[in-house]
Amino acid sequence: MKLYLGVTDTHWFRFLRAEQPEEVNFWQPGGGNAFKVLPVGGPFLFKLKGPFNAIGGLGFFASHTRLPLSVAWEFFGRANGLDTYAAFRDKIMSYRRDGQPNPVIGCIVLADPVFFEQEDWIPMPANWSPSIVQGKSYDTATAIGRELWSRVQYTLQRYRWMERQPEEKRMLVMEPGEPEYREVLSRVQVGHGTFRTLITDAYQRRCAISGEKTLPALEAAHIKPYAESGPHAISNGLLLRSDLHKLFDSGYLTVTPEHRAEVSGRIKEEFENGREYYRYHGKPMLILPEDLNRQPDPRFIQWHNEQVFNG
């Protein structure tokens, strides 16, 4: 199993340790290269800067994406490590000199972070170099990687991590791994910001029905709502233009198992309008995830057809 030890801003760490969020955005102010070091679910360890030089906690890799600064705040809010959008913007701008009013930043999205108290911080591996600027990967196939993970796992037990029960509707779908590591990884849970990020990228940043690609106008919709035990899974999501999202949640719009839009006649009956929406009726969805396993699950579609949609 691969691990990553990422150099972590001390203020970011302290703020989020006090917040105890369900997810965090480990942002890259310059946009950053695609983060391909870890598979989904891989442990991302927080290496605190000097004078501490210790491992202060970890999160579990969910996705990497690039978002306009304002959208990153909309998705994650205080889970970006600052208390206001103005403070977040000032922090990002302190690293940039291009003057862009709403720059695109890199977002390493980490699920289910754990922040250790100082007495539980883990010493750095022997082969860590002070010259490392961003981070270093490790592998449990090596002795030093196994020792590092063993220390992390032992510390997690002190935070009652192993007493948690996996919650299916929030579980992060991970790549296959060694059984001894999946005991921990199976307990990783994801939050709403992570779900929004995954849906946004799975649908190529375009509305599934209209094809709209103005990112601030797009929203991640659950097919079966989270409040009704719908999971934070890509197969239970659609990326929709905000007005279509409202219609979908209100029962004026649905999709069929054949991936066609169906618009309720109630729009015309109740509002004497709806021409904008009826043009989508019966039309195939324009955008679907490329991975068939991530396309809308027929079980969730059926639930929405029967429990929400009122034709």
pLDDT at 77 over 70: yes
pLDDT at residue number 190: 77
pLDDT at 255 over 60: yes
24, 81 Cβ separation under 8 angstroms: yes
Total residues found in the chain within this entry:
311
Tokens of 20: 């105890």
Instruction: Work out the pLDDT band at 99, boundaries 50, 70, 90.
Output: confident
**C-alpha span between 14 and 81 (Å, rounded):** 9
**C-alpha span between 143 and 150 (Å, rounded):** 10
**Residue 138: strand pairing partners:** 3
Q: What is the pLDDT of residues 261-296, one digit of tens each?
A: 999 999 999 998 999 999 999 999 999 999 999 999
Instruction: Work out the pLDDT band at 165, boundaries 50, 70, 90.
Output: low
pLDDT at 166 over 60: no
Chain centre to alpha carbon of residue 76: 9
**C-alpha span between 99 and 254 (Å, rounded):** 43
pLDDT at 175 over 70: no
Tokens of 298: 């027929």
**C-alpha span between 1 and 176 (Å, rounded):** 10
pLDDT at residue number 204: 98
Of 100, 113, 89, 101, nearest to 19 by C-alpha is 113
Pick the range with the lowest mean pLDDT from 21-30, 180-189, 220-229, 241-250. 180-189
**C-alpha span between 292 and 127 (Å, rounded):** 42
Tokens of 264: 């309720």
Domains within the chain, CATH numbers bracketed = 2-185 (2.30.130.30), 203-307 (no CATH)
pLDDT at 160 over 90: no
Q: What is the pLDDT of residues 86-96, one digit of tens each?
A: 999 999 999 99
